Amino acid sequence: MNRSRATWWRVLALLAVLGLVAAACGDDDGGGDDTSSDTSAPDDTSDTTDGGGGDGDGPAPAYGGTVVVGLEAESNTWTPGPAQLANSGLMVAMAIYDPLMSLNENGEFEPFLAESLEPNDDLTEWTMTLREGVQFHDGTPLDAETIVWNFETLHFTPDSQTYGTLIAAGVDEANPIEALDERTVVYRLSEPNAAFPDMLRGEAGWPISRTAYEANPEGFGDAPVGTGPFVMEQWTRDDRAVLVRNDNYWMTAPNGDELPYLDGLEFRPITDEDSRTASLSSGDVQMVQTLRGSAVKQVLELVDAGGFESSLHVGNNSGSAILNVLEPPLDDVRIREALALASDSEQVQVVLGDDGLTEVSTGFFSEDSPWYSETAAAAYPTERDVEAATALVDDYKNDPERSDGKAPGDDVVVTYACPPDPSLIAVSQLQQELWQEAGVVVELAQVEQATHISNAVGSADTDPPYRGNFSINCWRAGGGEGDPLTSLQSFFGPVAETPGNFTNYTNEEIDEQLEILQTSPDFADRYAAVERISIITAEEFPILWSSPTPTIVGYRDDIHGVTDWTLPSGSMGTGTPGAVARFHQVFMAE
């Protein structure tokens, strides 16, 4: 495989991890699990049943029933590795597969399908022990050799979308994985990585049946076989996926109940937001997901009217603008700060329909995240100050050594590019108006999504490589899933080696903080490193923040266990981050 193609797979993997592919800057979010916790819908409408734990104040869990779910979109395949799964696809996949690792409600890694995962002293080897007696849907056992086969066949190959993520995590290309005995596997890295467990929460950590795959490699994506609580019975693309109970599921509820409770699930892609909400209201489906502010409000109206509940989540991803700091005049912090001061995040929220649902963004992490810092949030300007912005623009404009090579007094010009989505066009026009009030001439460009991403990445032929071909792009950015190293290392790595560093911003102190994140397992040290990175970027403005992404799962009020599911240890899970529900403890009861 040539370098250019390999780099693109790496970029796409990083984009998927960071939740950027599905929508570069609208309300849609392609990401999956998030470290931040759920927030209840107004009037305490969130689910408060015991979910099998035995200590809740709602109805006791009951067996039986099928839940029909309306999804935002269809997926291309269900084979981990080749699959391109947005939030809708993740909801289905998490019913079919189990992750080796997961997050608890505090954002801490815990084993799920694994029994344990332990590093060596220098964090270059991670030894995983599998749970005993786990079987795939076809009755074949989950063992160490199957884990090695999954890794080598589906993930650590240049044609896989997970390959780039694993390379970025430092997996040793010469000797990446080994089965030590029937239940023990060791992953080997070429450099320390305290965040390696994050790799085993996603597709690279969803084991599939080798027997089923080798029997029909081309057809496996239509009839996947995992270890999860439900079995794929039928998938009719763009119509429905029908799943039935896995009667041999390995996990039990904290109260000892065999899981899952439901007889089955049916997932229907309903791409139109209004139609999906109407289907919930009419009873055609019993649950829906949405990542659009206007549709979130529709679901909340149903909850207020009675008969429905919801789980509202505000994660770490946010609408933003990425600034190419190698492109004059954006190489000058005066112009970047001026654009931040001239922006109005609350007006952006109104345009997107997010007003009233969330606070404005101030950085990579929301207030619900364990990595959120009030100090860092305070460093980013949230109050519009056109006078200060204009002064900065004028200072640059009249500078005889201004970086764009123009004569003093000439206009300061930037280009703002977005995909041709109606809401994004409206955001573009708003930003143009706001920034021009501060004296910046803003040229607008509408760019198709694939080209939009390509322009942000650039190519190996430029100097430096991957410097990008844009001025300002509307985008979706944030701390993303799991461990902060995964996202921050991509945002701020060396330009020529890190296609995910779309802004091309680098900083020696950030490099030092990334080194701490990579080598230290201590939370206090790592929190301080994340805080310092957040403060630096708040003061240097390579990214302009606007509105977080509110997401919601709405469901009929006889459905329980949506928000209070547990991990095998009994710890509480993360609820419904990104509008992705987990179904192993969901049940139906009046």
Q: How far apart are CA 272 and CA 276, in angstroms?
A: 6
Do residues 24 and 470 lie in contact, with contact meaning Cβ atoms separated by under 8 Å?
A: no
| Segment 549-587, tens digit of pLDDT | 889 999 999 999 999 999 999 999 999 998 999 999 999
> Residue 499's pLDDT is what?
76
Do residues 10 and 168 lie in contact, with contact meaning Cβ atoms separated by under 8 Å?
A: yes
Residue spans per domain, the chain? 37-313+551-588, 317-549
Sign of CA dihedral 164, 169, 171, 177: negative
Do residues 473 and 456 lie in contact, with contact meaning Cβ atoms separated by under 8 Å?
A: yes
CA distances from 369 to 202, 313, 527, 530 (A): 19, 12, 11, 12
The fourth-level CATH superfamily of domain 317-549 is Dipeptide-binding Protein; Domain 3 (3.10.105.10)
- Give the 3-state secondary structure of residue 116: strand
> Residue 56's pLDDT is what?
54
Do residues 369 and 479 lie in contact, with contact meaning Cβ atoms separated by under 8 Å?
A: yes
> Residue 545's pLDDT is what?
97
- Rounded to the nearest 10°, the torsion over CA 456, 459, 462, 467 is 30
> Could you give phi then psi for residue 99, rounded to 5 degrees?
-80, 150
CATH topology (fold) of 37-313+551-588: D-Maltodextrin-Binding Protein; domain 2 (3.40.190)
Report the DSSP beta bridge partners of residue 572.
566
Tell me how far the alpha carbon of residue 235 is from its chain's centroid.
Answer: 25
Q: How far apart are CA 29 and CA 35, in angstroms?
A: 15
> Residue 331's pLDDT is what?
98
> Could you give phi then psi for residue 248, rounded to 5 degrees?
-115, 30
- Give the 3-state secondary structure of residue 99: coil
User: What's the predicted TM-score (pTM) here?
Assistant: 0.82
User: How are beta strands 264-269 and 66-71 bridged, if at all?
Assistant: parallel
Q: How far apart are CA 237 and CA 53, in angstroms?
A: 36
Do residues 38 and 507 lie in contact, with contact meaning Cβ atoms separated by under 8 Å?
A: no
| Segment 252-284, tens digit of pLDDT | 999 999 999 999 999 999 999 999 999 999 999
DSSP code of residue 480: -
> Could you give phi then psi for residue 351, rounded to 5 degrees?
-60, -40
Burial of 407 (0-12, 13-18, 19+ CB in 10 A): exposed
Mean pLDDT by 10-residue block, N- to C-terminus, for the chain (590 residues)?
40 44 43 35 43 63 98 93 88 98 91 98 97 98 98 91 84 96 98 94 96 97 98 97 98 97 98 95 97 92 98 88 98 98 96 90 90 97 97 98 98 96 91 98 92 87 90 91 86 84 95 95 94 98 93 97 97 93 96
Question: End-to-end alpha-carbon separation of the chain, Å?
Answer: 57
Report the DSSP beta bridge partners of residue 311.
40, 553
Do residues 276 and 295 lie in contact, with contact meaning Cβ atoms separated by under 8 Å?
A: yes
Q: Which residues contact 335 (CB under 8 A, 6 or more apart)?
A: 329, 392, 393, 396, 412, 414, 440
The reply to whether domains 37-313+551-588 and 317-549 share a CATH topology is no
> Could you give phi then psi for residue 116, rounded to 5 degrees?
-160, 160
Residue 106: CB atoms within 10 A of its CB come to 12
- Give the 3-state secondary structure of residue 426: helix
- Give the residue from 578, 22, 560 showing the smallest Cα distance to 290: 578
Do residues 371 and 479 lie in contact, with contact meaning Cβ atoms separated by under 8 Å?
A: yes
Beta strands, E only, 277-349: 287-290, 308-323
- The secondary structure of 227-296 as a DSSP string is SSSEEEEEEETTTEEEEEE-TT---B-TTS-BS---SEEEEEE--SHHHHHHHHHHTS-SEEEE--HHHH
350 is written with which tokens? Answer: 């109104």
- Give the residue from 305, 312, 309 showing the smallest Cα distance to 290: 312
> Could you give phi then psi for residue 198, rounded to 5 degrees?
-60, -30
